[in-house]
Amino acid sequence: MSKLLIRNGRVIDPASGRDEIADVLIWGGVVAAVGAGLDGRGAPVFDATGLVVAPGFIDMHAHLREPGFAHAETIETGSRAAAAGGFTSVCAMPNTAPVNDNPTVTSYIIERASRHALTNVFPIGAITAGCGGEALAEIGSMKNAGAVAISDDGRPVMNARVMRRALETALSFDLPIIQHCEDLNLSAGGDMHEGFESTRLGVRGIPGCSEDVIVARDILLAEATGARYHVAHVSTRRSTELVGQAKARGLPVTCEATPHHMSLADSDMPPYDSNYKMKPPLRSRDDVAAVVEAIASGIVDAIATDHAPHPGSEKMQEFERCPFGIIGFETALGVALETLYHAGKAPLARIVALFTTGPARVLNLDRGTLALGVAGDVTIFDPERPWTYDLNRSLSKSRNSPFDGKTFRGGPMAAVVDGAVVWRRE
Ligand SMILES: [Zn+2]
């Protein structure tokens, strides 16, 4: 079992409120001590002078594409890219082929991950069989096999009766239910946010209300059932308000925001550039401001990447034919630091919480903290050092990112999983 002494970093652990220069000793794969001037007892030393030492980052929303789409990503390549983004845990969405709607697929993912992944991988099971929106998936047995949540991400559960049953079932198994909020009738045919930009470019629009109406409906259903309900990739002002109101009323409603929805608007997209095409689409400037406000005010619980690899062959077609989604592991922290910290919107401790305690709480994971005895997962980052994202050197199998060539102020320096340094910036 791994041992490591991380020396002299600024240790930020939101769970304990700690923010001070200290050492972190990992022994036997778990956090053994945090404090000044620790005796490493011969453990390898990582000098973190000038760096932030945080609990391992958790990405609660990613697509690793395996099984079924290994040309876009595998558990191995995806976890490598995740580690290079500072993530030590990744949650894998179930829209693979076959869909993760039964314990055999759940176990397969866990098995593959245990042999090939650099990071921890937590599968998310489907809500409905085949993500088809009708019959419920094998929710209880997927939980027994290791699923940490259920979601039909990519597709919303449109039928309110099915959603109600799903919430009741999720509640009985104490699982959160994660919804990709999009009314398919309102969004049908759309390829970008509906507004001035879509009109200017002659592209069919996806209205903001296609998200809002599902968030509103689901909050009512969550209230009726008492289940834990989580809004994936919140992107509109109205939906952040709805989640805020639900929280104010004490409902177990949570949400996540992506780096791209907090930093890019539809007007930032070069015309017909499919590396800016995703769901929900990049929204208006006002929506982007609302997402940032919701992060600052505490409405948003987690930053999640929605890492969605697609190979170039799929992304280099006409805009309308390109699939939705962008990769996001390696740029997530850089975007968050720039948009939130350097812009004065949120302190470092809050940003760390959004990557650690926030998702850990939503998913009930015994991680995201440097408490003694917890798995020795650590993210080490530099909040200031400039670096430039070179997409051609990405560890992902895919290249669909709007951030190629962008210089960030601050980013990940190392990822430590169970006390082993699994990635380190050269
Ligand atoms: Zn989604």
Q: What is the pLDDT of residues 113-142, one digit of tens each?
A: 999 999 999 999 999 999 999 999 999 999
Spatial strand order of the sheet with 177-179 comes to 150-151, 177-179, 229-231, 253-257, 302-303
* Ligand 1 center to 420 CA (angstroms): 32
> What pLDDT does residue 312 have?
81
Please check whether residue 236 is in contact with residue 207, taking contact to mean a CB–CB distance below 8 angstroms: no
- Cα–Cα distance, 424 to 158 (Å, whole number): 43
Q: List 380's β-bridge partners, or say none.
A: 53, 414
For residue 101, what are the CA distances in angstroms to 76, 115, 184? Answer: 21, 22, 22
User: In this predicted structure, what is the pLDDT of residue 31?
Assistant: 98
pLDDT at 313: 79
Task: Choose, from 13, 306, 382, 418, the residue flagged as catalytic.
Answer: 306
Residue 88 near residue 417 (C-beta atoms within 8 A): yes
CA of 383 to the centre of ligand 1 (A): 29
Determine the 3-state secondary structure of 239 from DSSP: helix
1: pLDDT strictly greater than 80: no
Which pLDDT value is given to residue 338?
Answer: 98
Q: Confirm if 11 and 19 have CB atoms less than 8 A apart.
A: yes
- Find the 249 Cα to ligand 1 centroid distance in Å: 26
- What is the C-alpha separation between 137 and 140, in angstroms, rounded? 9
Catalytic residue flag (residue 306): yes
- Contact residues for 404 (Cβ-Cβ < 8 A; gap 6+): 275, 389, 390, 391
- Cα 279 to middle of ligand 1, angstroms: 6
Is pLDDT above 70 for 41? Answer: yes
Is the model's pLDDT at 5 over the cut of 70? Answer: yes
- CA–centroid distance, residue 12 to ligand 1 (Å): 30
Instruction: Flag whether pLDDT at 19 surpasses 70.
Output: yes
| Model confidence, pTM | 0.98
Ligand 1 centre from 232 Cα, in Å? 6
Residue 316: predicted pLDDT: 80
Give DSSP secondary structure letters for 252-298. Answer: -EEEEE-HHHHH--GGGSPTT-GGG--SSPP--HHHHHHHHHHHHHT
CA-CA distance, 374 to 371, in Å (whole number)? 6
Distance (Å, rounded) from C-alpha 76 to C-alpha 345?
35
Residues 6+ apart with CB under 8 A from 160: 217, 221
As a whole number of Å, the end-to-end CA separation of the chain is: 25
Assign 262 a pLDDT band (cuts: 50, 70, 90).
very high
Mean pLDDT value across residues 321-327: 95
Q: Which residues pair with 112 in a beta bridge?
A: none
What is the mean predicted confidence (pLDDT) over 391-405?
Answer: 96
Rounded to an integer, what distance in angstroms lies between the CA atom of residue 66 and that of residue 417?
21
Chain mean pLDDT for the chain: 97
Structure tokens at 11: 């240790």
Helix (H) or strand (E) holding 415: strand 407-417
Q: Is 182 left (phi over 0), alpha (psi -120 to 50) or beta?
A: beta
Residue type (1 letter), 325: G
Other residues' Cβ atoms within 10 Å of the Cβ of residue 16: 14
